[in-house]
Structure 1
Amino acid sequence: MKLNILLIFLTLFFVGCSSNNDWIYTFSGESTSWKAVMDIEPYVKEDSTGVVYTFKIAKKIDNKVSKIHYEAKIPNSENGGNLDSVDLEKINKKELLKIFNEFPNLVDPNWLGKDTDKKELETYFSELQIDINWEDENGKHSEKIILQLN
């Protein structure tokens, strides 16, 4: 009997703990040539917990892209880079490509979670954007994408 109660207690405990990590917030936006997505989700690894921002982009145009440089503007951070030839192949197939993960240092690590108020999220991420500069057979181009909470 004590074993059954212990098993029930442990099951409820682990189900309750895992449900706190059962959430995701998605921000997205589009420009004429591109679409972008940023997912915010829990990050749990060994003794470390927090959140991770995952940025993805996809091409909407048919032109073959030969170079891409991106700059993401995130609250309290910026991240940028160039895509390599393997990633360019995926982009030219119009796949949604993960370009980077950001592990933010939040002042209050418990603020961003399953029960975070959507208005607070919209306010905090109100200036979330990604700038994409690329080259194709028609020359050099640049577009800015504003991302909003879905």
Structure 2
Amino acid sequence: MGTRGDDQRLRDLALLRRVRDRIDREYERPLDVEALARGVHLSAGHLSRAFRQAYGESPYSYLMTRRIERAMALLRRGDLSVTEVCFAVGCSSLGTFSTRFTELVGVPPSVYRREAADATAGMPSCVAKRVTRPVRNREAPVPAAPLA
């Protein structure tokens, strides 16, 4: 039989999983921490702290990672402009989208769009998604400077 603390921890994890699932499902909608917290009857501060402890990143960071992953898939298709992709994944600022994309992927969305089509040509989309998954919890590594 679990202790009272264990029971509460399991309930909290279930709520956090609901928040994460909602982000996965509704990433293209306007979502903020306050709305996510209201949906599971927690304060925004408690949700942010608990989410970070459980998943290693804030709810906002997780949401942006989902959006960037989807943006990568749309950019690989090549039929939408960077601006169209930005709005299609739920971002309202092209500047913020481009900055976050570059942080996670290592190149700006326009460069990714040009290069990704060649790099993933002939790959099934499920493989391309896995191979091109963005870096989480830190910026993409900066290429080393050539030795002189």
Whether these two folds match at TM > 0.5 is no
Structure with the larger RCO, 1 or 2 (CA within 8 Å, 6+ apart) = 1
Q: Which structure has more strand as a fraction of its residues?
A: 1
Tell which structure's C-alpha radius of gyration is larger.
Answer: 1
* TM-score (ref. length: structure 1): 0.29
Q: Which structure has more helix as a fraction of its residues?
A: 2
